[in-house]
Chain A
Amino acid sequence: MTDLLLDRYQEIVGEDVVNNLRQLAEPLRGTKVVHVNSTREGGGVAEILHRMIPLKQELGLDPSWEVIVGDAEFYQCTKYMHNTLQGNRFEIPQPLLRRYEEINQENAERLRRQLEEADFVFIHDPQPALLLNWCPERRGKWIWRCHIDVSRPYRPVWKYLRSYVEPYDASIWSLAEFAQPLYHPLYLIRPSIDPLSEKNIELQDSELQEVLERFGLDPDRPIIAQISRFDRFKDPLGVIQAFRLAKTFTALQLVLAGGGATDDPEGEEVLAEARAAAMDEPDIHILLLPSDAHRTINALQRISDIVVQKSTKEGFGLTVTEAMWKGKPVIGGEVGGIRLQVHNHHTGFLVNTPEGAALRIRYLLTHRDKVEEMGQKAHKFVLENFLITRHVREYLTLMVAILKGTEERIELQ
């Protein structure tokens, strides 16, 4: 097996795709690129960065990844911000906002030199968004990457944050409907999954068997799974309700599994609510997994018959992408990026209620050939559209476009 990442991707996506990346990266050779986010483990952003950095390096860029360091008050504030930007109406207490600003300032002191010298700085999500404010001597282009759905934010919070993100040179959004108008260009880039990561590589049957045994799952009865953070927007209680409605006709098992993220203080509360709703029912398996349990998550997705992602708000929904990559049909909430991935009767079903989810679970379990057919289509759809190679291509395109100006057509010589 080759050591070069690009060669390994080429085996999956083909030579054209990789050649394309090499050509696009050529004018960016040696470019210093810094990514900043708030956690190194847990959550889709960290996962993408873990692989994007070495990939950019192999393409000749000079990338690095920094993580801002905060305290409990800071993460409480950014969790409130996350929820309010996605629509919850809640006034963030002023002392928490002051702490948010202080932490950003402290991190700016620590990272200033590196950030000010970079050709490109990508700031992910609201947590480190204020760094730009304390880097007045910056020479490169600063881009704010917003991974969440800000289509209908709680206005006072958005107004506060907007004043800090407006001065960026550009922002990136997962979907046009998530974006808020700003004076700079609003680029649209969908996130991706990495087919070579522990979470997505092929696994041996023996490993799948081990996971079945470890969690006391019965291989002879269908398994429905939602693999997601314990977050109210992911609606774990709705999933339990859907499971109860569906199991009347088929003996089912439900797995609700989630990892913790260091920047999510609300997780434990939601986990407790889910456990209470499960009422010790033996066929409901609620699993709190460590943030690095990537292979376990991979195995759980692979041993599932159907994957559910019944979110009521969703950024893009990379857990949907992961499940589809493993050839599973997905029953997903009709929100956010799930709508781009789940196409009714092709790759799964979009639903709005626990009843809807239950209906589709029952349909798929009584049409097993459809499970197979949709799973194959889902895999192909991800292969062609949502792998990291496409994501990197768009980042490279964006960097070239920003370097060369804002005109509609950029011809590289």
Chain B
Amino acid sequence: MTDPFAVKDCALIAIATGERANDLRELRDRLETTRQGCIYYHFWGGLLRPSFDDPEYQNDFAVWAYHGLHDRFLAERLALVDPTDFDDLEDLRRELIEIIEERLDENELVSWTAAHQQFQFTRSQIVVFDTGIRISKPEELKGLIPQLTVGSVFYHFVDARRRTSNKNDDFSEWLMGFGDSYDELLEQIASLDPYFKSLTELRAQLGEIFEEYMYT
């Protein structure tokens, strides 16, 4: 018997580390030593921060390359790094450094930025709390998903990938507990890329998948 699904919510609070980069070399140097939490925050924290419409670039490194360094080549390359493609944050860190090294090799002049546009390394603390909501049948997910807060979507669909052994979202992990009954549904959930969507878009698409699957 699979345990009921416990709906949780979370709040993220940002913490400045005081580490800053004025130019590309400094960015590379800080990236080599900064804590993993910073890399996580600069890739995923944007989902819970104020943003406007569709961001031009999905992660803070790419945004800074564009707006701080005015280096479009680098911004485009960094923007295409999808954190879900990497086994862990160390691999992601290596990829970032690799891209920056490549750019440094191409450019004899190191791009730099004005003092007020330095890259500020930031990490976060996540506080997770229980909403008290429990569901015991997968069918109930259909009604639940549209009601989730963006904090819940973040926790169960994004943050889960750091917590679960299969680097999966919580919904999929739970559905796997029902044997192969939901394989088709699992495939559809797996096709959702959490990185290139806002949390409200993710919630809507997830809701559609459940709605359609449970209806048919």
Instruction: Write the residues of chain A forming the contact surface with B, with a CB cutoff of 8 angstroms.
Output: 16-17, 19-20, 23-24, 26, 151-152, 173, 176-177, 179-182, 185-190, 335, 340, 343, 346-347, 381, 384-386, 393-394, 396-398, 400-401, 404, 406-413
Contacts and interface: CB of A to CB of B under 8 A. Distances in A.
A150 to B, nearest CB: 12
Given A151-B115, A187-B13, 14 more contacts: A20-B9, A176-B16, A176-B122, A177-B118, A179-B120, A186-B16, A186-B17, A188-B13, A340-B50, A384-B50, A397-B125, A401-B127, A408-B37, A408-B123
B80 interface: no
Nearest to A395: B13
Contacts of A187: 13-16
Contacts of A409: 125-126, 128
Interface string B20-44: 0000000000000000010000000
Interface of B: 9, 11-18, 37, 50, 52-53, 115-116, 118, 120, 122-131, 149, 151
A412 B130 contact: yes
A20 B154 CA distance: 14
B13 A397 contact: yes
A340 B67 CA distance: 14
B13 A401 contact: yes
B123 A412 contact: no
A173 B16 contact: yes
A26 B11 CA distance: 14
A384 B149 CA distance: 13
Contacts, number: 95
A398 B16 contact: no
A177 B120 contact: yes
A412 B124 contact: no
B118 A23 contact: no
Contacts of A186: 15-18
B105 to A, nearest CB: 29
Contact of A412 (B12, B53, B129): B129
A281 B190 CA distance: 66
Nearest to B41: A408
Given A346-B52, A398-B13, A410 B128 contact: yes
Contacts of B115: 151-152
B18 A24 contact: no
Contacts of B151: 20
9 contacts: A20-B151, A179-B16, A187-B14, A187-B15, A189-B13, A347-B52, A398-B13, A408-B124, A410-B127
Given A343-B52, A381-B50, A408-B37, A397 B127 contact: yes
A400 B12 CA distance: 11
Contacts of A411: 128
A87 B150 CA distance: 39
A377 to B, nearest CB: 8
B52, B122, B123 interface centre (most CB from chain A within 10 Å): B52
Contact of A179 (B9, B18, B116, B128): B18
Contacts of B9: 20, 23
A408 B116 contact: no
A412 B37 contact: no
Given A401-B127, A410-B127, A412-B130, A393 B11 contact: yes
B89 to A, nearest CB: 12
A181 B18 contact: yes
B158 to A, nearest CB: 14
B205 to A, nearest CB: 19
B132 to A, nearest CB: 8
Nearest to A171: B16
A396 B35 CA distance: 25
A179 B15 CA distance: 10
Contacts of A413: 130
Contacts of B11: 20, 24, 393-394, 396-397
B9, B18, B118, B129 interface centre (most CB from chain A within 10 Å): B129
Nearest to B120: A176
Nearest to A409: B126
B126 A381 contact: no
Contacts of B122: 176, 188
A394 B50 contact: no
Contacts of A343: 52
B14 A412 contact: no
B191 to A, nearest CB: 27
Contacts of B18: 179-182, 186
B50 A385 contact: yes
A176, A185, A335 interface centre (most CB from chain B within 10 Å): A176
Contacts of A185: 15
A396 B125 CA distance: 13
Contacts of A151: 115-116
Contacts of B124: 408
A342 to B, nearest CB: 10
A375 to B, nearest CB: 15
Contacts of A393: 11
A20, A190, A407 interface centre (most CB from chain B within 10 Å): A20
B88 to A, nearest CB: 15
